[in-house]
Structure 1
Amino acid sequence: MSLKIGDLVTRYSYDEDILFRITAIQKDGTYELKGEDLRLVADAPSEDLNKIDDDERLKREKEQQKKEAQCYHLFRQDHRLSREQSDYEMTSNYSTSTPHYFELRGRVLHLDGDPGYLQKCTMMYERLGIPIYGAHMKETEMQNQVASLLEMVQPEILVITGHDAYTSAQGEQKEAKAYRHSRAFAQAVREARKVVPQLDDLIIFAGACQSYFESLIRAGSNFASSPARVNIHALDPVYIAAKISLTPFMNRVQLYEILRNTLTGDDGLGGIDTKGVLRRGLPLRDDTEM
């Protein structure tokens, strides 16, 4: 079987559960792989790889699109209920004509180690109506650029993600050396906290597939992956950031609700008590520009 960069493959040794794209071929013949929908990087010899044909690719794409559509529906349903409550709270004291209010949604600064994932995430932010500034860079470069980007963008929410992986042969789960990029993510979080120390002044999500969850929370993240060292979906950070952006700042984000609307759930994502960042105002007039 002939394999080349760009081919879609699965791994026999893992029951072909994840779809990967070949990104590089090492000199010893080992193939470097990137998860097509999961934030995971791996490598494998050619004999462990099965090249996916078009029929199988379309089948897997449809299954993935169905999962994403269900997640999006749950998120919109949850936001609709929250919006109805906001409508009541903002207008219940008006006995005559009811004015419309305006919203200032939380801006997201999203740093991503993968340009394809960043594009996919940006499209979902825009679909959800979330102000977004995205930047692609290597995971190891994030700690050097996060401070200047925070100063420039002035976001309420920071997402630090890309690729990661836990390798048991490199160490135990409580050892940072066993993770591909968790140490870099944690250092980027620390640099961000030097700029904005308070947990409620800048909400941070950090991590990717199988990341060292505990170290990212200790570094200063509000939310992180991956408590059970499982893979997370490319869009999971978006749903967490969007939920925070659309939750009023007087309210706490309900942890169960925020995890329920992700594709991975609490095995792959976790966090601490955090307030929302949405601010609402009255009145909204026809000549108002926000």
Structure 2
Amino acid sequence: MGIKIHDVVGRQSYQCDISFRVIRFFEKNGKQMALLYGEDLRLIADAPVEDLILLDDEKRQQLLTRLHEQEEQSFHLLRQDFTSIREKQEYQFTSGQDEGYQLFQMPGKVLHVDGDPNYLKKCLSLYEKLNVPVHGVYCNEKEMAYKVPLWIEQLRPDILVITGHDAYSKYKGKKSDISAYRHSKDFVLTVREARKKVPNLDQLIIFAGACQSHFESLIEAGANFASSPYRVNIHALDPVYTVAKISFTPFTDRVFVRDILRSTITGEKGIGGIETKGVLRIGMPYRPPVE
């Protein structure tokens, strides 16, 4: 049985180290090729069809087990941080006195623009688990620069995520050459357009990039956080872990990059950025919904 679109495959020449979805087929230099999207890593790749092999459930589970363990660890660390922040705020707000006050939190609103609908679905599920308010939109990477500014005007988010798929190709140039990347130029252009709408780095916090993205250009364009300093692959959920930390950090506190990296799966090789203010606000009194 031949390889079909939407099949989950591995590349034999890479010892099937990453699971991919087949997106489409095309011809290149007389060879039948497949365009591949990573299942859990924000990576896009080309491969000869003859190099691909279908991954059975056992092999897929082997590849997923470690990643899922890392996901759970990151989730656990974030929940710990959120609990610590709330307890600290409650103590400060009541001056350490138990006066029966009930506080409510207003975490930062996220606009998450993703070039992959499957990744978007996974990310929205994690935002929900973390109680981060989010509006998710699927958008092709090449169309983001034209559509994101309008969504910023309409939704007025505190945090913007610009992500999808990317990859560096050594056959197209050096790692310093942004033309050697699939979508880094699209992400950079989108960040620039977003910054025209909101220039202040603390009024709109931007995460931009995907696997192997041109980190330096994204930061220079105006992103607070970006991938990938060492041109490594990043996990599909790393953008969520990054901005969730900001969403639940008080606006009076700064978010240091080292604290962000602690909660991500990829760490300092995949994510970097600049110190940024949090956006969480608290209020009182809390009241249940009126029936």
1:228 to 220, 227, 230: 230
1:85 aligns with 2:114: no
Give me the whole-angstrom Cα distance separating, in 1, the residues matched to 2:143 and 2:205: 20
1:174 aligns with 2:176: yes
Shift of 1:189: 0.4
Cα deviation code 1:8-65 (max 9, x no counterpart): 1111222321111111111341011110000000011123222211221233333332
Shift of 1:134: 0.8
8 Å Cα contact 1:91-1:98 kept in structure 2:
no
Which residue matches 2:9? 9
8 Å Cα contact 1:128-1:242 kept in structure 2:
yes
Residues 269-278 or 66-75, more deviating = 66-75
AA partner of residue 64 (structure 1): L
8 Å Cα contact 1:121-1:238 kept in structure 2:
yes
Query: 3-state DSSP class of the match of 1:66?
Result: helix
Cα deviation code 1:207-265 (max 9, x no counterpart): 00000000000000000000000000000000111111000000001211111111100
Which residue matches 2:78? 75
Q: What percent identity do the matched residue pairs reach?
A: 54
AA partner of residue 56 (structure 2): D
Give me the whole-angstrom Cα distance separating, in 2, the residues matched to 1:56 and 1:223: 34
Which residue matches 2:266? 264
8 Å Cα contact 2:256-2:274 kept in structure 1:
no
1:44 aligns with 2:10: no
2:276 to 264, 269, 274: 274
Which residue matches 2:146? 144
Q: CA RMSD in A?
A: 1.6
Shift of 1:75: 1.4
Which residue matches 1:108? 110
8 Å Cα contact 2:229-2:271 kept in structure 1:
yes
Which residue matches 2:65? 62
Give me the whole-angstrom Cα distance separating, in 1, the residues matched to 2:141 and 2:64: 27
Q: What is the number of equivalent residue pairs in this alignment?
A: 288
Call closer, same or farther: CA 1:82–1:288 in 2, change over 3 Å. Answer: farther
Call closer, same or farther: CA 1:260–1:31 in 2, change over 3 Å. Answer: same
Return 5+ residue gaps in structure 1 as ranges: none
Shift of 1:288: 8.1
8 Å Cα contact 2:71-2:265 kept in structure 1:
yes
Shift of 1:127: 0.9
Residues 55-64 or 203-212, more deviating = 55-64
Call closer, same or farther: CA 1:243–1:78 in 2, change over 3 Å. Answer: same
Shift of 1:184: 0.5
8 Å Cα contact 1:11-1:50 kept in structure 2:
yes
Give me the whole-angstrom Cα distance separating, in 2, the residues matched to 1:55 and 1:242: 32
